[in-house]
Structure formats: C-alpha cells, structure tokens
Amino acid sequence: MNCILLPASDIAPPYAQINSPVQIEHINKVLKLQVGATLKIGQLGGNLGTAVIDDMSPSNIQLREVQLDTPSPAKLEVTVILALPRPKVLRRLIMDMTALGVCHIILINSYRTQKSYWQSPLLMRLDEFVLEGLQQGVDTIAPRISLQKRFKPFVEDQLPSLITHDAIIAHPYSDLAFSQYLQQLPVESISSARVQRPDVVCIGAEGGWVDYEIELLCKQGCKAVNIGPRILRTEAAVNVILGQWLI
C-alpha cells in the first residue's frame, strides 16, 4: 500500500478514521507508524493527500490534520478486454490493471477460459483487488469492471461502440509487429507520439485466442499485433503493453 484509501463516510476534515483490519495491520506491521506520524491517504473517488495519526487502537486509527488536495493521477483511457484467466492470476491481473490506471476492464469468456473459472469465489472479490491496486498505484478512481460470459454476442453487438479510435489484439502469432502498428498511427510530432494509442486492447488467457476469436475480433475492426518473438505470461503481457503508455 503506497497510500491508504478511505471511503468518504470515514472522512470529515480535518479528521478521519481507519477501521479496516487490513489497513490497520499494514500501518502497524509494514509501515510501523505510531501516533504523530504522517500517513499518505486518499478518499475513494476523491483526492489524495496526507493525515497525521492522532490515536491508535487495535481496531481503529484516528487521523487529524487531514489534507486532501492532490487530484488522483490521470487514468489510462483504455478499455482492456481480457479473457477470464485462471483464478490464481485474476487477483494480480486486476491489481496491476488498476495500478496502471486502466479505465474499464471487461472480463470475457474465451475458448481457452475453462468453465470452472466463472464459478471461482474470487470473482466476488473484485472490489477488494481493485482497492489493493488503487492503494498500490496511488490512485483513488476505481476502473469499471464488467463480466461478459458470451463472447460472440459481446463482440458483435457491444464491442463496436467501445472503439472510438482504434483496437488491438495481443496475438503472438500475428504478422504485424506492435512497433509497426504504432508507426501506422497518425503522429503529429515526436513529442506527441506516445499519446497515440488504441482505446481498446484485447488480451487472451493462457494459450491466447483461437483463430475463430481473432477473426471475429478483426471483423469488428481490431488489429492483431505481436510484441516480438517472445511469448509472455498474461500478467507480463498486460504490463508490457499497457506500460508503454505509462512512461
């Protein structure tokens, strides 16, 4: 946690309180802060700032001198369409995409998504993973997360309205290299080159997309791109691709 996010209901400047056992444990055991220490905090959906620890009990931390005057960082204006991954990696993927500032995450069914993944109890804990990602990435604005259990109807009926600019599919076996794709995007000057980007990025589960899925996505205007001869884990690919627009 690089900041402690609190709901608006626990903030009444210049005071606030922390009730979450996870946050209290982090403050005690990881940050090792005591009364009088300054803490980085944020209001969920609001600003970032600082507060001073006024009082601590095992179940509650009282804060004073609450200052919330820093806007959260700009979001990455991208919709990520992610084939629902193994539950084991779902938490880290949601955390990472949230920390990277992704606006909208769509978890979608795919040929290589096992049916059991949709029954995972972790799908009920997405808000928790988002909170972890926000506190990691020092952001206060949660991404929107939607679940789409039916691939074809989603791609045919809903995907086109999400693409206002351009859409790509991460596909190790595409002939079009990501760098070539970027060169095709309209660029006005070198300094603005980094701003040019697709607004939809489709990333497969382990094993990637099958040909039928690639075809259906391409029919709606997506372009399949490879990121070189090396094939990365889904988590690594998400960070490599989205990270391009972070730095």
| Chain residues that interact with a second copy, rule: CB under 8 A | 2, 73, 92, 95-96, 99-101, 136-139, 172, 177-179, 190, 194, 227-233, 235-236, 239-241, 243-244, 246-247
Q: How far is the CB of 60 from a second copy (least distance, A)?
A: 25
Residue with tokens 């804060």: 63
203 DSSP β-pair partners: 82, 170
If the CB atoms of residues 39 and 155 are measured against a second copy, the closer one turns out to be: 39
What is the Cα–Cα distance from 26 to 24, expressed in whole angstroms?
A: 5
Q: Which of 244, 192, 246, 241 lies closest to 75, judged by CA?
A: 246
If the CB atoms of residues 111 and 178 are measured against a second copy, the closer one turns out to be: 178
| Burial of residue 167, with CB atoms counted within 10 A of its CB: 0-12 exposed, 13-18 middle, 19 or more buried | buried
If the CB atoms of residues 124 and 190 are measured against a second copy, the closer one turns out to be: 190
Q: How far is the CB of 179 from a second copy (least distance, A)?
A: 6
If the CB atoms of residues 34 and 244 are measured against a second copy, the closer one turns out to be: 244
How many Å from the N-terminal Cα to the C-terminal Cα in the chain?
Answer: 21
Does a cis peptide bond (omega within 30 degrees of 0) precede residue 14? yes
Q: How far is the CB of 132 from a second copy (least distance, A)?
A: 10
Q: Is the dihedral of CA 109, 110, 114, 117 positive or negative?
A: negative
In residues, how long is the chain?
247
Q: How far is the CB of 194 from a second copy (least distance, A)?
A: 7
Q: How far is the CB of 32 from a second copy (least distance, A)?
A: 11
Q: Which of 143, 57, 71, 131 lies closest to 104, judged by CA?
A: 143
Q: How far is the CB of 103 from a second copy (least distance, A)?
A: 14
Q: How far is the CB of 30 from a second copy (least distance, A)?
A: 8
If the CB atoms of residues 12 and 231 are measured against a second copy, the closer one turns out to be: 231
Residue with tokens 């960082």: 73
Task: Output the CA angle 16-22-23, nearest 5 degrees.
Answer: 35
If the CB atoms of residues 83 and 155 are measured against a second copy, the closer one turns out to be: 83
Residue with tokens 């969920």: 44
If the CB atoms of residues 20 and 226 are measured against a second copy, the closer one turns out to be: 226
